[in-house]
């Protein structure tokens, strides 16, 4: 089938206080999956005992960025400072096409809710995960 692609050349960017910076050594990105909460409106006269609902507030979701751990690198320094800061910063995910060409991007604000310590084994790369909570709307655009 035409159009399918792997994540090759996709990117995650995090604001460093001056500009959005592409994180190095990213191996996977789990983008936000917004959901709409439901608010129950059932009353005691509900027809045939069916519960009723209306849409509530939008929840923009969370993001996970898995990276190969390179201690002391620019990416490591940035994500560690961000995780410790409690700041909300701009972020960007760039989706690439099957040939690696940037296709579309989403931008959003988020704060770090966690940064895992690298797993240490004798037979695998050390990796760690930055977990983010999106705050506010997500904007989608053609990749710049």
CA distance 109 to 111: 7
Distance of CA 119 to the CA centre of its chain: 21
CATH 2.30.110.20 at 11-36+52-142, yes or no: yes
Q: What is the pTM of this model?
A: 0.91
Domain ranges of the chain: 11-36+52-142
Helical H runs in 31-116?
74-85
- CB atoms near residue 112 (< 10 Å): 22
Residue 19: Cβ-neighbour burial (10 angstroms; 0-12, 13-18, 19+): exposed
**pLDDT tens per residue across span 48-81:** 999 999 999 999 999 999 999 999 999 999 999 9
User: What pLDDT score does 99 carry?
Assistant: 87
Element (H, E) at 72: none
């Amino acid at each position: 089938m035409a159009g399918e692609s792997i994540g090759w050349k996709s990117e995650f960017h995090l604001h460093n206080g001056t500009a959005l910076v592409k994180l190095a050594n990213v191996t996977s990105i789990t983008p936000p999956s917004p959901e709409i909460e439901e608010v129950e409106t059932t009353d005691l006269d509900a027809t045939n005992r069916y519960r009723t609902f209306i849409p509530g507030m939008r929840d923009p979701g969370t993001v996970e960025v898995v990276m190969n751990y390179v201690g002391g690198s620019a990416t490591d320094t940035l994500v560690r400072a961000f995780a410790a800061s409690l700041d909300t910063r701009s972020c960007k995910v760039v989706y690439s096409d099957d040939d690696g060409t940037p296709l579309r991007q989403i931008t959003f604000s988020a704060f770090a809710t966690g940064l895992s310590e690298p797993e240490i084994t004798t037979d695998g790369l050390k990796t760690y995960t930055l977990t983010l909570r999106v705050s506010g709307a997500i904007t989608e655009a053609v990749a710049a």
